Amino acid sequence: MKRNRLKLGIFGFGCVGTGLYKVLEETGSVEANIKKICIKHANKPRPIDAKYFTTHKDDLLNDPEINVIVELIDDAEAAFEIVSEAMRKGKDVVSANKKMIAEHLPELLELEKKYQVSFLYEASVCASIPIIRNLEEYYDNDLLTSVSGIFNGSTNYILTQMIDDNIPYPEALKEAQNKGFAETDPTLDVEGIDPKYKLCIILFHAFGLSTKPENIFNFGISRINDFDLNFATQRNYAIKLIASCKKNGNEISGLVAPSFIENKDPLAYVKYEYNGVVLESAFSENQLMIGKGAGDKPTGSAVLSDISALTYGYRYENKKYLHVDPSLKLESTGKYRVYVRYYDDFDSFDDFLSIEEKFISPQGNYFIGIITLDKIINSKWIKDNKINVIFCNQNIE
């Protein structure tokens, strides 16, 4: 097959943009060259010739030689405007912006169809793991039942430091930031918002379900303390921030939350900045994919993979979305077993269907109970920073 020669216009030259430049320089197999890079700060020192840079987006969008726009900025709304305009001008687009994609995917697909261009975004989910392409191609005809795993390298790095290396949360967070795995404002990572965006994209490619991020429950790791870590150690558990979705008939459950998993669970061996994705299906049963989920080169390599695919004119077929059962819906009534660390005057035990275990001590209190997800979502106590919740397993019914 004849390969197309690509001229790239890149928006953003931060961690991912620099990583793309590095991997593009180190491989000679991709028929693509950088024509122009649009950045915000013209005077910032950069590792390549200044002639490549501009602060004017139209220098890229209006250049007829540039046939691929690579969007790598951190502003979701600005990214949406750039990507939309690029497609209107007949340019293929590669993006790593999971928030922009999660919030605007149906609109972007309409633009892709209308202007007959390709829109690829492998780097938006789990960096170096080719999960989207696998869901589109390998799992095209297999009956997927669930997709779950560690979708955020920053929080996995922090949790590994806390549990394996006995480093307090503030120090572990600081080290993750110093290594470029977490942002200066780590809220998107540590509160489970980043993996929620990724889960929206997974839901689309796994089951054909289009949903907004606000419809998915997320709970982060910032409340985990020594009491919780000691509990995990005593029970031979690891703690991981797990994103999961499961299909049962025409209903799909989806959430992001810290979870206890047994130390022998394959995901317990996924440590530091690595991600791990478990796929369960009717025919191929369980499969585990592991790869680096943070860092410049791992994410840059995923962007490069999409660029390489464009040289062959590749486009997601989105067959599951196009042929989705209209009755398919996201539900929040599933039952879950959860661990709750609380203080003495916790007064919402009535929210729980049953309490299986309860412990009270001067060092701290906890109970383990069964509760429906909608009760958690609508509770007042989930917003209390003195209360922590860790899921004991995935939904039990």
Catalytic residue of the set 198, 271, 292, 320: 198
How many Å apart are CA 306 and CA 38, to the nearest integer? 20
pLDDT at 1: 53
- Look at residue 25 in the predicted model and tell me its pLDDT: 85
Domains and CATH numbers, the chain: 6-127+298-322 (3.40.50.720), 137-293 (3.30.360.10), 334-397 (3.30.70)
Per-residue pLDDT in tens (0 to 9) along the chain, 397 residues = 557 789 999 999 998 999 899 888 888 778 899 999 999 998 888 888 899 999 999 999 999 999 999 999 999 999 999 999 999 999 999 999 999 999 999 999 999 999 999 999 999 999 999 999 999 998 876 689 999 999 999 999 999 999 999 999 999 999 999 988 888 889 999 999 999 999 999 999 999 999 999 999 999 999 999 999 999 999 999 999 999 999 999 999 999 999 999 999 999 999 999 999 999 998 878 999 999 988 888 899 999 999 999 999 999 999 999 999 999 999 999 999 999 999 988 999 999 999 999 999 999 999 999 999 999 999 999 999 999 999 997 555 5
Distance CA 105, CA 96 (A): 13
Whether residue 198 lies in the annotated active site: yes
Query: Which residues touch 180 (CB under 8 Å, ≥6 apart)?
Result: 15, 294, 295, 296
- What's at 56, amino acid-wise? H
- Coil/strand/helix, residue 260: strand
pTM listed for this prediction: 0.96
Considering only CA atoms, which of 374, 329, 307 is closest in space to residue 69?
A: 307
pLDDT (0 to 100) of residue 382: 98
3-class DSSP assignment, residue 40:
coil
Q: What is the pLDDT of residue 354?
A: 97
